[in-house]
Amino acid sequence: MSGITGKVVAITGASSGIGEATARLLADGGAKVVLGARRTERLDAIAREIRDRGGTAITCRTDVARRADVERLVGMATDEFDHLDVLVSNAGISKIGPISHLDVDGWSAMIDVKLRGVLHGIAAALPVFRRQGRGHFVTTVSTAGLKIVPTMAVYAATKNAVRTLMEGLRQESTDGVVRTTSISPGFVDTQLDSSIDDLAVREEIRRTMNDFGLPPAAVARAIVFAIEQPHDVEIGDITIRPTVQG
């Protein structure tokens, strides 16, 4: 992982799951990580463990639905380390269920975190990347947007909105300054199911995660692969799923 040594990487949703695994793997490879999430105690514990292993990590309480929080995360990276190489937008919630349940509040929450949160990241980091002359947006999307299934329509809609957003940003960034990467995981064994309010759906998702969900480290390795490429190489899209997922 020599391609990530010394890189400064800010990660949202870093308190568990894919974000945590990515932070640990990057730090082990010599990157300097800035961890953002709402659960500060968990963030601080992860950062301490990274530092105890000889890595470099700092934390910033970040609710990606709040633009000021994401700006503070990016600002902390540049203040502490003078620049920012990569923003990994990974924060997510899962308010899934049948559309007929009319969970308007849940729909709004997913839009705020999963779409607006990515936009806040772009608004915060793009000026930094342009000023530096280079930067990399890595965004967690989902196979839910590739295969639409019942109970996940709005979830998939937010993911496909992000997929469209990242492709648009890519096409506007062919001057070689900004790279974009969209990572689409299938079922991963994370804590994402804890945000599902529909108990029957939550139990079904948890069973699937337990049965064949990928470990978060598998997705982290894909993210690191994209980051460690030379700057003139862009890994635009990666789909990673369990081999048994339909």
Tell me the residue range of the domain where 77 lies: 2-240
Instruction: Please tell me the predicted confidence (pLDDT) of residue 1.
Output: 58
In the predicted structure, residue 37 carries a pLDDT above the cut 90: yes
> Annotated catalytic sites, by residue?
155
Instruction: Please tell me the predicted confidence (pLDDT) of residue 192.
Output: 74
Q: For residues 79 and 131, is the Cβ–Cβ distance under 8 A? A: no
- Flag whether 246 is in a domain: no
Average pLDDT over residues 187-198: 80
Instruction: Compute the distance between CA of residue 130 and CA of residue 63 in angstroms, rounded to an integer.
Output: 24
Confidence of residue 207 (pLDDT cuts 50, 70, 90): confident
- Flag whether 10 is in a domain: yes
- Flag whether 155 is in a domain: yes
Instruction: Please tell me the predicted confidence (pLDDT) of residue 201.
Output: 79
**Please, which residues bridge with residue 56 across strands?**
32
- Flag whether 245 is in a domain: no
- Flag whether 165 is in a domain: yes
Instruction: Please tell me the predicted confidence (pLDDT) of residue 89.
Output: 98
Instruction: Compute the distance between CA of residue 210 and CA of residue 49 in angstroms, rounded to an integer.
Output: 26
What CATH number did the domain enclosing 63 receive? 3.40.50.720
Confidence of residue 133 (pLDDT cuts 50, 70, 90): very high
- Flag whether 206 is in a domain: yes
Confidence of residue 146 (pLDDT cuts 50, 70, 90): very high
Tokens of 68: 């000021």
Our count of domains for the chain comes to 1
Average pLDDT over residues 161-175: 96
- Flag whether 215 is in a domain: yes
Q: For residues 77 and 84, is the Cβ–Cβ distance under 8 A? A: yes
Instruction: Please tell me the predicted confidence (pLDDT) of residue 24.
Output: 98
Instruction: Please tell me the predicted confidence (pLDDT) of residue 121.
Output: 98
In the predicted structure, residue 87 carries a pLDDT above the cut 80: yes
The per-residue pLDDT for range 63-76, each reduced to its tens digit, is 999 999 999 999 99
- Flag whether 225 is in a domain: yes
Instruction: Please tell me the predicted confidence (pLDDT) of residue 191.
Output: 76
Among the listed residues 33, 134, 116, 31, the one whose alpha carbon sits nearest the alpha carbon of residue 69: 116
